Amino acid sequence: MVAAYIGWKDDRNDPVKVVTYGNGTPLPAKIIYKCLELLDEDKVSPDFLKDLPPVEFCCVYGSALLGNHDKITMVDYILGVSDPMKWHSENLKLNRDHYASWMVHLGGAKLITLVADKIGVGVHFNPFVNWNNRMIKYGVVQSHDLVQDILHWKHFYLSGRLQKPVNIHVDTLDIANLNSVNLKAATSAALLLLPPEFSEEQLYAKICGLSYMGDVRMLFAEDKNKVNKIVQGQFQLFHTMYRPILEGYAAKDVLRFQSSGGHLGNIIQNCDLPVTQSLVSALPSTFKSCIGMGEKSKSSQSGQLRHEIAIGSRKEAADFMRKVLRHKVMVSSTRQAISGLLATGGVHASRYLSNKMSKWWKS
């Protein structure tokens, strides 16, 4: 199953799927099959899964979705499983060479899971896996942790990945539906950080950049132009993902479009305080508590008591948003970087870091 909002399906004859927000409001997901032309199916083939234990969720992300993806670039997978320790134990029997030798010898599946959970943010990556003359990297996460990050931005790690275009191959968890909450929250966060008027590309760049704010890798081991390259290379996919949400916000007078051809053109947003409150309200509850904003009670016209987020000004909300995002991403990226270096072993870690620093140096 491939998530409809992402822009393609395995079967072009499938009916359009209706995705909903967390409150049950229907979000019509219009499929633009033209996006399929951006993918080289041979390069992102799900056949790789046949050599692994069963998974509940699988998606491909990153440069594999670009039309100019080459054979030497790693294809990146995220795999959701119900029991990581059990899954790794089974995978060690099938693919022992995918793992760092020291982890296999010293603790096996138990150590692999321990390092991912206690040092990292719950994800174990196996990079540089040679499969069918292609280089694969796959990350394994407990399905429950994946859902928590999507809905609550617990670590804002995998949720950040899923705010960008991905190609879903397995989805028994209905992540396609759950992730609509994540996409709406990302849109709200980006709007808070943007000026009153901006372009569609600037919006997607801001959304894409949320998960890189405070990322330690951006200091020395990532392409400094990464965000712009992602958006420019996958613009149509971003357009497909986020247009229904933007149209929903336009219907509520949160923003309006200045259309340009087939795209939305410039976007003008309403920066009034009530609208700002509604944007903050769309953020995950745990994230709002980190921002430190309280609630105030207000009586509606029907006499019912309702709770609103207490905000002094839009600038205050944006400043809090920026501060909390940077801190959360910095902590998560640091933990995952350390966990990743341990998980990959000396040789692979040096190779991976060398590749990342090369991109940074060339950018």
Same domain? 98 vs 3: no
- Collapsing DSSP to helix, strand or coil, 338 comes out as helix
Cβ atoms < 10 Å from Cβ of 138: 24
Q: Is 252 exposed, middle or buried (0-12, 13-18, 19+ CB in 10 A)?
A: exposed
User: Which residues, 6 or more positions from 298, have their beta carbon under 8 angstroms from its beta carbon?
Assistant: 305, 306, 307, 308
Classify residue 126: in a domain, yes or no. Answer: yes
Q: Give, in order, the Cα–Cα distances in Å from 203 to each of 3, 159, 199.
A: 22, 18, 6
Highest mean pLDDT among 86-90, 295-299, 335-339: 86-90
pLDDT band at 363 (very low <50, low <70, confident <90, very high): very low
Same domain? 10 vs 94: no
Nearest CA-CA partner of 185 in 163, 157, 161: 163
3-state SS of 68-123 is CCCCCCCEEEEEEECCHHHHHHHHHHHCHHHCCHHHHHHCHHHHHHHHHHHHCCCE
- Read off the pLDDT of each residue in 252-279 and give the average, rounded to a whole number: 86
- 288's tokens: 């709002």
Q: Report the alpha-carbon distance of residue 205 to residue 199 in Å, rounded.
A: 10
Per-residue confidence (pLDDT) for residue 23, from 0 to 100: 37
Same domain? 15 vs 121: no
| Mean pLDDT score of the chain | 80
Q: Is the pLDDT of residue 340 over 60?
A: yes
Alpha helices in 156-256 (DSSP H): 158-161, 175-193, 200-209, 217-220, 226-233, 235-251
- Residue that wins the pLDDT comparison between 225 and 33: 225
Nearest CA-CA partner of 49 in 71, 15, 84, 80: 80
- Read off the pLDDT of each residue in 104-125 and give the average, rounded to a whole number: 96
Instruction: Using only the alpha carbons of the chain, give its radius of gyration.
Output: 21
Range of the domain at 240: 46-291+311-362
Same domain? 231 vs 256: yes
Instruction: Look at the block and give the residue holding tokens 């205050």.
Output: 316
- Read off the pLDDT of each residue in 266-275 and give the average, rounded to a whole number: 95
Same domain? 186 vs 51: yes
- Read off the pLDDT of each residue in 41-55 and give the average, rounded to a whole number: 77
**Domain total of the chain:** 2
Same domain? 170 vs 254: yes
